[in-house]
């Protein structure tokens, strides 16, 4: 039994080797043509197929993740919006406070100038005119 299998394998190998010896150049040119066709056309189609499959897997995964974490994402967005609104409100208050302080400072400076001018009204020196 073992010798029969060995003889059969030996026969297949010898017949295959005989076929390769007789048609070697044809097989080589055929393999070159097949390789060219594979590289030029089939490889791109196969790559596109696998990319499409990968995209579908990602899309399904993204849908499941979105389902799973949509509440958490919405909550995080809401908290971020609240922080933004609070910071915006604080910034506006600080800006208004700065503007009020600047206006008060300007008013104080104007009051000082007015009081100085009133004091100078009584002074009637030579060559001094108060407008």
- The per-residue pLDDT for 33 is 96
Q: Which residues contact 27 (CB under 8 A, 6 or more apart)?
A: 20
Give the whole-angstrom CA distance, residue 28 versus residue 59.
Answer: 44
The string of pLDDT tens digits covering residues 86-101 is: 999 999 999 999 999 9
pLDDT band of 21, cuts 50, 70, 90: confident
Alpha helices in the chain (DSSP H): 2-22, 24-37, 43-121
Q: What is the pLDDT of residues 73-127, one digit of tens each?
A: 888 899 999 999 999 999 999 999 999 999 999 999 988 888 887 777 655 555 5
Q: Rounded CA gap, 4 and 13, in Å?
A: 14
Residue 3 or residue 34, greater confidence:
34
Residue 91: how many other CB atoms lie within 10 Å:
10
């Amino acid at each position: 039994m073992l010798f029969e299998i060995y003889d059969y394998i030996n026969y297949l190998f010898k017949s295959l080797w005989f076929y390769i010896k007789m048609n070697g150049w044809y097989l080589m040119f055929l393999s070159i043509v097949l390789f060219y066709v594979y590289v030029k056309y089939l490889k791109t189609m196969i790559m596109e197929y696998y990319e499409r499959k990968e995209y579908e897997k990602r899309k399904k995964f993204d849908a499941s993740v979105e389902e799973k974490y949509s509440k958490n994402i919405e909550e995080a967005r809401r908290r971020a919006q609240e922080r933004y609104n609070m910071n915006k409100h604080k910034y506006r208050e600080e800006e208004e406070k700065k503007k009020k302080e600047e206006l008060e400072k300007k008013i104080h400076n104007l009051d000082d100038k007015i009081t100085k001018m009133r004091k100078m009204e009584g002074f009637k020196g030579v060559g001094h005119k108060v407008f």
